[in-house]
Structure 1
Amino acid sequence: MFDKIFSFFSCQHTNSVDKIILGIGNPGEKYAHTRHNLGFAVVDNLAKDWNISFNKEKFRSLIAFYRFRNKDVLLVKPLTYVNLSGEAAKKMLDYFQLDNQSLLVVVDDISLPVGKNRLRLKGSSGGHNGLKSIIKHLDSECFARLKMGIGENKDCDLVSHVLSRFSDEELPSINDAIVSAKEMCQQWLCQE
């Protein structure tokens, strides 16, 4: 426990960060547990596992620091809403003088089936407005993204679908996907 407290404070005081994991989502209770907030769910679960909390607001985001295997990690939940996620990402990378390869974005993806995760080190936005914003602000598609499947619903419009909650039948797959996503995030942190 002392090590966690010490690394939290030492990281804050030195402004040292090696890696950033940014979960895309919308702030507020209205959007909690929606398909569009899977990124928030993953970083929330990482914070819970690491026994830390999002107790600081900076870069138009809620942030939490943690020392993971000799790396200072910043968990991020932008308060910009999904469509402006790039503003927060750019401010953080600039502030900590990090390149784009130090960033992992966790994001929902309608092109993947519910419960399926896919890690990519670069690529297009795939039509996701949060990724579009990050690509625009970083002027690059070269950053890691962990895409989490939310499925597609041809019976309703896209906005209604991404802002809907998962069905009872989908929840077991989503819970498994969150566990898998946490493991994938930690594997990414271990890569040089």
Structure 2
Amino acid sequence: MKLIVGLGNPGRKFKKTRHNIGFFVIDELLQRHKWKLNNSKFEGDYSIEHFDGEKVILLQPQTYMNLSGKSISPLMDYFDIDVDDVIVVYDDLDLPTGKIRLRQKGGHGGHNGVRSTIDHLGTKDFKRVRLGIGRPTNATPVIDYVLGKFPKQETTAVTDSVEKAADAIEAWIKGKPFLEVMNDFNQ
């Protein structure tokens, strides 16, 4: 069983913000396969699906970003999911908008949702898909920037990165070793 977690903030207010790009990837996978987040438990909305012979859970924590681990850890415990079978998808200020980067493990890099995930799982050893959102180019505070919406001129780059992230996740679910997926999709 695989667990795909998209980090973001719940509610319409945050729906199209940069910080919710992890949710965008889950939404892309749901749309591609006509799946729905039809369960609400573990402080998250999730769906249990089958893809290419593999059981897959897609999760959007509803805890707000900084508490994401509070949703992920109990769901993993309940379904007995090993950390090797988890991918966490989230925004990254240090990557330009439109770029994606996959990693097998690592620190939180200042991302509070990842920090919470590490704290609640007790390990840094989970797979990640990071989607670039760039940094503010003016005096905009980072919090305002990540909670802001993408400008229209970035729509194509954002859509492309979300689709590539979903493609990478599907390749991994189908059984391709994660290192090979990284080699194929890291930009």
Fold equivalence (TM over 0.5): yes
Is it true that 1:31 corresponds to 2:1 in the alignment? no
CA distance in 1, matches of 2:109, 2:91: 11
- Distance in 2 between the 1:44 and 1:168 partners? 19
Cα RMSD, aligned residues only = 0.9
Give the equivalent residue in structure 1 for 2:35.
52
* Residue 168, structure 1, aligned to residue 152, structure 2: yes
2:56 aligned partner: 73
Counterparts of 1:89 and 1:123, CA distance in 2: 17
Alignment deviations for residues 154-174 of structure 1 (CA, whole Å, 9 cap, x no partner): 421110010010111111100
Distance in 1 separating the partners of 2:133 and 2:161: 10
Where structure 2 has 5 or more consecutive residues not aligned to the other structure, the ranges are: 178-187
Counterpart secondary structure, 1:67:
strand
**SS across alignment from 1:36:** helix
Structure 1 unaligned blocks of 5 or more: 1-17
How far did 1:97 drift? 1.2
1:6 matched residue in structure 2: none
1:190 to partner: Cα distance: 2.4
Identity %: 39
Give the alignment's TM-score, normalised by structure 2: 0.91
- Of residues 165, 172, 186, the one that matches 1:188 is 172
1:100 and 1:142 in contact (8 A); partners too: yes
Structure 2 distance, partners of 1:113, 1:29, is: 25
Residues 46 and 60 of structure 2 are in contact (CA less than 8 Å); yes or no, is this contact kept in structure 1? yes
Query: Which residue of the partner structure matches residue 86 of structure 2?
Result: 103
Aligned length: 175
Contact 1:38 1:148 survives alignment (8 Å):
yes
1:89 matched to 2:61? The reply is: no
Q: Give the 4+ runs in structure 1 shifted more than 4 A.
A: none
Please report the TM-score for the alignment, with normalisation by the length of structure 1: 0.89
- Equivalent residues of 1:50, 1:66 under 8 A apart: no
Counterpart AA for 2:106: G
Cα deviations across residues 14-55 of structure 1 (Å, max 9, x unaligned)? xxxx00000000010000110000000110110111111112
3-state SS of paired residue (1:169): helix
